[in-house]
Amino acid sequence: MKVLSLYVFLNVFFFSFVSEKEIYNDVVQETSLQQSIKRGKEIYADMCATCHLPNGQGVPKVYPPLAKSDYLMEKREESIRAIKYGLRGKIVVNGVKYRGIMSNLGLYEDEVADVMNYITNSWGNKNPKMVTEEEVKEIQKK
């Protein structure tokens, strides 16, 4: 009985400070992110795993790692641009220089967002801010 009373009290206390809309938005965003990650995992397996490997480790000095990648996590816009348009030239990932070419994979903007959400939430990466299709649309080729 005490446990039930405490549960009711905590729910009333919690919900008195949080609006119903805020709770709904948090649940929808989490669900949307989880769905995006699932879609991104499939796209990654089809389009990215050949070079970056299924575990995101990449190939040393040839294909950069995505697992625990400082570049991926600290250079969000550049990472989105690389997936959206491809990448050519030098980058440094986890202190290692890579100079290669990543071809344009021809992904749609929603697919780019899904792949970003998957790779930034896998293999030791944690991204609290969901990448959206709208964000990807704003990224221009340089």
- C-alpha 137/C-alpha 90 separation (Å) is 24
- C-alpha 51/C-alpha 9 separation (Å) is 53
- C-alpha 65/C-alpha 36 separation (Å) is 21
Which amino acid type is present at position 47?
M
- pLDDT at position 22 is 53
Q: Give me the residue spans of the domains in the chain.
A: 2-138
Q: Dump pLDDT digits (tens) for 105-135.
A: 999 999 999 999 999 999 999 998 999 999 9
**Residues in the chain where the model's pLDDT stays below 70:** 1-30
- pLDDT at position 7 is 53
- pLDDT at position 21 is 52
Q: Quote the pTM value.
A: 0.78
Fold of the CATH domain 2-138 = Cytochrome Bc1 Complex; Chain D, domain 2 (1.10.760)
